[in-house]
Amino acid sequence: MKKTLLTTIAALALGTAAMAEPVKVGIASEPYPPFASPDAAGNWVGWEVDMIGAVCAAAELECVITPVAWDGMIPSLASGQIDAIMASMSITADRMQTIDFSNKYYNTPTVVIAAKGSGILPTDEGLAGKIIGVQVSTVHQDYAQTHFKSAQIKLYQTQDEANQDLVAGRIDATQADSIALDDFLKSDTGACCENVGSVADDKDILGLGVGVGLRKGDDALKEKFNAGIAKVIADGTYEKVSAPYFASSIYGG
């Protein structure tokens, strides 16, 4: 009896070791179209969600998508509630002090949008005396606080709320990723506003692109994700996933 029990347990343990425990991939619980947003049936859809599926399949990992509040993302990773972050988080030197990143899987410019005909430019002079809204805990917040010192900066929990306040006229401009803002400008409510241009680049603050966030020292998982990303790019899955969303590749330089 004891022998059968031990052998069963050993078999199960070996079996599960071969299967590997699921990797909890954190995404932001607030909608961020077209990268990740919930649909009416409660499922998460979007380019980033599809990319998570593709990269995990290529890396032979079993990934479980776990929505986490954006400003609790890094603490959740550090405390083990999630194992990886794939929530459009940019690779910056500041963040690299606390967490590790995989190689990038996309890189898009940062733009500022404002109400049509406002005459705002994405520079410190162009925003002097205006109110610019940014999402907390993002490179855009860092950038605005460093470069747009003569503007008044309002911090929002989600980019969506900043967009809403732009439509409502409470803020004059908002800065974020060009793709997310393009998606907003194409929507009904975004008809009020226009893209006033990209901000001057600052690699230290804006980072080197978006990568998978991992716990410091979790090199095994980092290798797996890097392998998965490389495979997805090499065998054309990247283009296949991006085709329904974007006209051209967003991998960037």
By beta-carbon proximity to other proteins, the closer residue of 31 and 197 is 31
Kindly tell me which of 30 and 50 has the beta carbon lying closer to other proteins.
30
DSSP strands (E only) in the chain: 23-28, 37-38, 44-45, 63-68, 84-85, 99-106, 110-115, 131-135, 152-156, 173-177, 193-198, 210-215
Residues that bind other proteins (CB under 8 A): 21, 24, 28-31, 33, 37-42, 67-72, 74-76, 78-81, 94-95, 97-98, 136-137, 141, 154-158, 160-161, 164-165, 167-170, 187-189, 192
Token representation of residue 99: 């967490």
What tokens appear for 248 in the block?
């051209």
Residue type, 18: A
Q: In this complex, which beta carbon is closest to other proteins, that of residue 39 or of residue 124?
A: 39
CA–CA distances in Å: residue 10 to residues 1, 2, 18, 22:
14, 12, 12, 20
CB of 226 to other proteins, least distance (A): 23
Nearest approach, Cβ of 98 to other proteins (angstroms)?
4
Closer Cβ to other proteins, 125 or 188, answer by number = 188
Report whether 197 contacts 121 (CB < 8 A).
yes
Q: Minimal distance in Å, beta carbon 240 to other proteins?
A: 25
State how beta strands 23-28 and 63-68 pair: parallel
- Tell me how far, at minimum, the Cβ of 14 lies from other proteins, in Å: 15
Query: Shortest distance, CB of residue 72 to other proteins, whole angstroms?
Result: 6
